[in-house]
Amino acid sequence: MSAPKLKAPRGTFDVLGEQSTVRATVEARARAILEGAGYERIETPTLEATELFARGVGASTDIVQKEMYTLTDGGGRSLTLRPEGTAPVCRAYVEHGMHKRPQPVKLWYLSSFFRYERAQAGRYRQFWQVGAEALGSEDPAVDAESIVLLGALLAELGVNARLRLSSLGSPASRTRYREHLQTHLREHEASLSEEVRGRIDLNPLRAFDSDHEGTKSAMRSAPRLLDYLEDEDRAHFEEVCALLSEAEMLYAVDPSLVRGLDYYTRTVFEFTSEDLGAQSGVGGGGRYDGLVAELGGPPTAGMGWAAGIERILLAGSPPASGTATPDIYVSWTGSARRAAFGVLREARSAGLTAQMELANRSLKGQLGQAGKMGARYVAIVDEAETMLKDMQGGGMQEKMATGTVVHAVLRRLRDL
């Protein structure tokens, strides 16, 4: 009896073949855009102390309440597979004393994240995000620059996305607003979904996110946070909007925009694409001026975003970075394996992309394989003699000493 086959866990996937080259393009474009704007790459660990997310992301969020992969390690510590990247980046900023550097410190990442969510197209349990965080300045130009960079990345990758924008103000204005919203929700309690009713005290803002018909209709007449902003926050938001207009960035102010994480203050935004169906959020983020202090650091402003790589791939059309087609395919028959191996090594040290026959196919099979790989030349090595065959341009064939074949290919490629 054969052993049962194993599958990748639900909500996870393997990255294969062309997919990995398309992802490499996304990464290369992100790197070019973000490093060109002064962002430095950061890698943080896959596992973090559970407390980082409980404190950073917020105890009342879906992420912390039901989506974290948490384990206890051999030393009894509670660790969690990172569900997002902002809290880890802030932890690293504090841990490495980055507040002593010139501000803002700009950091970017492309990593995988983990959330125990209901898996479906565009929503996975292990997914990849590209993210950018700018720490240490509350200047509205930081917000605008950050948003414009994500807009540029999405445009370059062929993602057709709409930008929605709002401001959540300061924690003080939010508290004042929350009370008004709670009063409104209690007045309409009978038409609300059970989930929203259960969260009136803990997280009333999430009511704006609900798909429930009764809740949606109650929310149409709900007070809007934007009307409760303090003067400084309103001026900050107006400046962000003006800078985006200056950059000719199209956006819609959407006061019902809420994000699933608790750390936001002031600017929040989301890029959505109609090409995605239910999971329409391609990327989003905002300001989190209280997060670094919440994690034990000095009071530090922060602004950033993350975009899902799988959603970019679903909604966009990033070009595959050409798979390396071989300049030369080293074919061999009989007992010429070692001589062929020598040609392979010599070709690679001369800077050619080279592949060798590795499956002991018939000569016909080998030529077929070289054709499938798109090889330009095939060297059919037979000990001291080699037949060099041009796979394009009329199929020239020429017999030569095996020791000269790499030179012959280099010369021909140079003369092309």
171 cis-preceded (ω within 30 degrees of 0): no
Q: Return the ∠ at Cα 213 (arms to 212 and 215), rounded to 5°.
A: 70
Rounded Cα–Cα distance for residues 11 and 123 (Å): 8
> What is the rounded distance in angstroms from the CA atom of residue 192 to the CA atom of residue 41?
44
Kindly tell me which of 237 and 288 has the beta carbon lying closer to ligand HAM. 288
* 117 touches ligand HAM by CB under 6 A: yes
The yes or no reply on residue 131 touching ligand HAM (CB under 6 A) is yes
Among 307, 336, 378, 409, the residue binding ligand HAM under the rule CB under 6 A is: 307
In the chain, the N- to C-terminal Cα span, in Å, equals 57
Q: Show contacts with ligand HAM in window 372-411 (CB under 6 A).
A: none
Among 123, 176, 184, 216, binds ligand HAM (CB under 6 A): 123
Give the dihedral sign, CA 362/367/368/374.
Answer: positive
**Closest alpha carbon to 80 in 61, 54, 59:** 54
CB 292 within 8 A of CB 103: no
Question: Is 305 one of the binding residues for ligand HAM (CB under 6 A)?
Answer: yes
Whether 294 contacts 58, CB under 8 Å = no
Report the residue closest to ligand HAM, judged by CB.
308
Give the separation between CA 69 and CA 359, rounded to whole angstroms: 42
* Pick 128 or 228: Cβ nearer ligand HAM: 128
* Options 1-9, 124-132, 175-183, 184-192: segment touching ligand HAM (CB under 6 A): 124-132
CB-side neighbour CA atoms (13 Å) of 140: 18
Cβ proximity to ligand HAM, 305 vs 377, nearer residue: 305
Cα gap 338→303, rounded to integer Å? 58
Using the rule CB under 6 A, is 86 a contact of ligand HAM?
yes
CA distance 112 to 129: 6
Contact positions with ligand HAM (CB under 6 A) in 310-349: 310-311
Task: Return the ∠ at Cα 336 (arms to 334 and 342), rounded to 5°.
Answer: 160
Q: Give yes or no for residue 127 binding ligand HAM (CB under 6 A).
A: yes
Here the tokens at position 379 are: 């060297």
Per-position x/- string for 27-66, each x denoting binding to ligand HAM as judged by CB under 6 A, each - no binding? ----------------------------------------
3-state secondary structure of 47: strand
Structure tokens at 35: 């490093």
Q: How far is the CB of 193 from ligand HAM (least distance, A)?
A: 22
Q: Does residue 145 belong to the site contacting ligand HAM (CB under 6 A)?
A: no
Residue span binding ligand HAM (CB under 6 A) among the ranges 16-24, 98-106, 120-128, 364-372: 120-128
Q: Is 109 in the site for ligand HAM (CB under 6 A)?
A: no
For ligand HAM, the closer CB: 84 or 357 = 84
Q: Which of 214, 260, 342, 374: binder of ligand HAM (CB under 6 A)? A: 260
Binding site for ligand HAM (CB under 6 A): 84-86, 115, 117, 123-124, 127, 129, 131, 133, 260-261, 281-286, 288, 304-308, 310-311
